[in-house]
Amino acid sequence: MTYRMKLWVGAGALLSFAGGVALATSPAPRPEALQTTELPRHQVPVSKDGNLVVGMCDGETSLEVKGVKEGQKLTRAQAARVSGELMDAWRKKNPDANWDPAPPPVVAQGQKQAPQQKNPPMGTQKPATGGAVREGGVTAESGGKEVRKQAGVNIQDGHSYGAFTQRDEAVWAASTQQFVDEGHRVFHDADAVGGTIAVSCDMCHPDASNTHPETYPKYQVQLGRVALLRDMINWCIENPVRGKPLADGDPRLRAMEAYIYAQRKGTKLEYGKK
Amino acid sequence: MGNKFRSIETKHYEERDAFFEGLKRLDRRAFLRVAGMSAGIVAGMGLRTPQSFQLVNVAEAQGTKPRFTFAYISDTHLYEQKLNDRFVRSILKAVDDVNGLDPQPDFVLFGGDLAQLGQAGELKLGAQILKSVKAPVRMMVGEHDWFLDMGELWRDLFGAPNYSFDHKGVHFVVLNSILEKDFWTERKLTPMERMKIVAGLDNGIQSRFEVGGEQRAWMKQDLAKVDKKTPVIVFSHSPLYKYYRPWNFWTDDADEVQALLKPFERVTVIHGHTHQLLTNRIDNIQFHGMLSTAWPWPYAPEGLPQLTVQMNRPDPFSQFDGCGDGRVDVLESGLVDKLYNLWERNPITVRGSYLASGGKQDAPPRTKLPSY
Ligand SMILES: [Fe+2]
Ligand SMILES: [Fe+2]
């Protein structure tokens, strides 16, 4: 998989986003700490000829596709060309920004070989353009400041790909920690998780030990199907804890996932591990 | 009993029970022999296929005849029944187990954490249930019994938390190893807040467990009367060594307590609190953990003693897996063989000879599924 493939996937997601897929919001009450405002939307300009306008994941860049009307579907080849052009435009705006090359495909433990894909993804094509990839991922020095200096260039101020400050980083870290802490609270509180017999998660999993989030998805023999971490969280809530399983969007479930993953920082992902 | 005519199923289950009971008495070699002979029976244990166990001749272990045996039930963590009946069913299962032992053990050790939050309803329920144990019960206190009223009700019900006694040539010392330095006064915690903090494993607020100077002085005096050749067995709720501090799998003054035990030739410590198969040896002292009837703890991320052979990680889909009770065979030599009666699994014996040989002999079966 090359970076092109990743881009294409990104563009595809945006296409459906622009197509008006509403984000489901949870009706369940959430603690004050986890209140979120409505997610921002990328408003793409309207084509005066009624052409399809595709927005990029940066929330700014867009491209009018000549010859394809709004409401029509791109062919696979057209979509690849559009995503390539959008990426080129982004690279021009962010000349020194890093773009991680996609990792090679891995297979679940116990599987000998990845199944052959019927349609090789676009990513197998050679990338047309693109600067050198810099080591170390995105940093504050990834080019935002340089871009800012150039007059007349549209600056992505405060954008995560470009310029961000220590304060930004502190805010992000604190928000993440708040989310994790809320998970810690729910994990340690039989009432908060909806238990009826006073059993809480930490009673068998101190520090979220033996929850092994890195092994999911995996085939859970006892369930007779492939399970995600949240399926197992809900299994425990229903059985040892004797509560009602939480809905996918329930802020308590999301927070517990955050807490459990945070405890396993640095652990190698090994999906499918028995 | 009046039921002269027993159904095939009844006979089957009686034979099956006798078979698994027999397994607990086998040494390793005899076990392999029997297991080979009756592999089909073992394989069929979950299938409930009617078949006979009569073919199996359970051989007694050779040469290591116990001087006497005692059984244990530990870490029952009772809530009141109307709130949580699962843990109540578990202690009842354990009581059935020890009452079913034939021959009966000389006594039953209760390993502490009878209650979950030290409340009167919990402790009294536990005391009531333990009255139905046929053999005499020796009580030990755990932190879950203690930190609501600092042991007041527990002492009313069961007496002093530390004491000693002699039994068939062995000197027993029972400790209260879960004392903690005051972390609550300054924080102005209510008794229940204090209790709940101690009841949680993964918080850094509470102090670490200790036997304390006063009790160590008592122990020193008590041991002064005992011949150094007499086997000594110590009961403590926390492991009397330093395993994993963040979870209080730990006794802060373990080194000082071990020093008191050093002059004796054969010392065994049986402890609760860790809810897992746990084995250690420090010089002359052999350590064995006890299983909980309520839930198993995972192995700590570090500090696991080298001689510990882990138990298979428990199946979260099985309510009793990883839980159980057990038995201790005190051998003529003064060493002990420690039986972990894991519910719904093959029992595991950790032998005194395994520890004495530094792990070279009689190793317990290795785990198939270690902790993550
Ligand atoms: Fe316990
Ligand atoms: Fe305990």
Give the pLDDT of residue A189.
96
Same domain, B31 and B78: no
Residues in chain B closer than 8 A to A215 (CB atoms) = 372
Structure-model confidence comparison of residues A154 and B90, the more confident one:
B90
Q: Are B105 and B67 in contact (CB under 8 A)?
A: no
Residue B56 in domain: no
Q: Residues B149, B274: one domain?
A: yes
B192 part of contact set with chain A, CB < 8 Å? no
Q: What is the pLDDT of residue A42?
A: 84
C-alpha distance from A204 to closest chain B C-alpha (Å): 6
d(CA A245, CA A256) in angstroms, rounded, equals: 13
Q: Answer yes or no: is B166 within a domain.
A: yes
Same domain, B181 and B286: yes
Neighbours of B331 (CB within 10 A): 20
Q: Do A222 and B317 touch (CB under 8 A)?
A: yes
Question: Mean per-residue pLDDT for A131-159?
Answer: 51
Dump strand ranges (E) for chain B.
66-73, 108-110, 137-139, 163-167, 170-174, 232-236, 242-244, 249-250, 267-271, 279-282, 285-289, 324-331, 336-342, 348-350
Q: Which residue has the tokens 């578990």?
A: B90
Q: Residue A80 is encoded by which pair of tokens?
A: 């690849």
Residue B368 belongs to a domain: no
Return the domain boundaries, chain A: 46-96, 166-274
- Ligand number nearest CA of B142 is 2
Q: Say what the pLDDT of residue B58 is.
A: 37
Backbone angles phi, psi at B71, to 5 degrees: -110, 170
| Between residues A127 and A199, the one the model is more confident about | A199
pLDDT at A1 over 50: no
Q: Among B347, B366, B294, which Cα is nearest to B144's?
A: B294
Same domain, B75 and B13: no
Mutate to test the interface with B, among A109, A189, A205 (most CBs of B within 10 A): A205
8 Å CB contact between B326 and B337: no
**Residues pairing with A227 in the sheet:** A218
Distance B273 CA to ligand 1 centre (A): 4
pLDDT of residue A18: 36
Q: Is residue B148 helix, strand or coil?
A: coil
- pLDDT above 70: percentage of residues in chain B: 84
Which ligand has its closest atom nearest to the C-alpha of B75? Answer: 1
**What residues pair up with B66 in beta bridges, in sequence order?**
B331
Residue in B116, B202, B369 closest to A206 by CB:
B202
Residues B108 and B35 in one domain: no
User: Is the model's pLDDT at B190 over the cut of 60?
Assistant: yes
Q: What confidence tens digit (pLDDT) does each residue in B209-232 have?
A: 999 999 999 999 999 999 999 999
Total domain count, chain B: 2
More confident residue, B154 or B5: B154
Tell me, what's the pLDDT at B27? 57
A235 contact residues in B (CB cutoff 8 A):
316-317
Burial of B124 (0-12, 13-18, 19+ CB in 10 A): middle
Q: Are residues B123 and B218 in the same domain?
A: yes
Alpha carbon distance B350, B110 (integer Å) = 20
Instruction: Give A166-274's CATH code, choosing from 1.10.1060.10, 1.25.40.10, 1.10.760.10, 1.10.3720.10.
Output: 1.10.760.10
If asked whether residues B258 and B130 sit together in one domain, one would say: yes
**B13 plus B80 within the same structural domain:** no
Smallest CA–CA distance from A267 into chain B, residue: B372
B316 in the same domain as B201:
yes
pLDDT at B208: 97
* Stretch B296-319: mean pLDDT: 94
pTM: 0.76
What pLDDT, on a 0 to 100 scale, did the predictor assign at position A24? 36
Let me know whether B150 and B293 are in one domain: yes
Give the number of A-B residue pairs with CB atoms closer than 8 Å.
55
Domain identity same for B70 and B32: no
Whether B369 is covered by a domain: the verdict is no
The alpha carbon torsion through A112, A118, A124, A128 (nearest 10 deg) reads -160
CB contact under 8 A, A206 and B247: yes
Q: Which residue has the tokens 């696979």?
A: A76
pLDDT, residue A109, reads 61
Q: Closest-CA residue in chain A for B322? A: A204
For B215, the domain range is: 66-356
